[in-house]
Amino acid sequence: GQNIDQPTEMTATEGAIVQINCTYQTSGFNGLFWYQQHAGEAPTFLSYNVLDGLEEKGRFSSFLSRSKGYSYLLLKELQMKDSASYLCAVIDSNYQLIWGAGTKLIIKP
């Protein structure tokens, strides 16, 4: 079966750095997305990786290793507004989007 694993919950301190990991086992791979979802709101796009390596976008970076079936989202200079769930999703060989359950990130002052 297809599987995406993320930690259920993480806690970090305002101003710090946090890394949210995602491992996947899917039938084929055509790319990986990270979305942010604030409580009670819709998921919004953060990043897309299809090649190995690090993609940096402001305070957020996303890394992919296809050989290891692994990605992480790195958030720097954490702000209270970064408190949200972070969803990892993989496009499989049929171009279906397979979603992880999400990681709830709690930021403490």
Cβ of residue 1: shortest distance to another protein, in angstroms? 11
Site string for another protein, 32-51 (x = CB under 8 A): -x-------xxxxx--x-x-
Of the candidate residues 12, 20, 84, 91, the single one contacting another protein (CB under 8 A): 91
* Residue 29 contacts residue 91 (beta carbons within 8 Å): yes
Cβ of residue 109: shortest distance to another protein, in angstroms? 27
Query: Does residue number 31 form part of the binding site for another protein (CB under 8 A)?
Result: yes
Write out the DSSP string of 29-82. Answer: -S-EEEEEE-TTS--EEEEEE-SSEEEEETTEEEEEETTTTEEEEEE-S--GGG
Query: Does residue number 54 form part of the binding site for another protein (CB under 8 A)?
Result: no
At residue 42, φ and ψ (nearest 5 deg) are -80, 155
Select from 11-19, 26-34, 53-61, 66-74 the region that touches another protein (CB under 8 A): 26-34
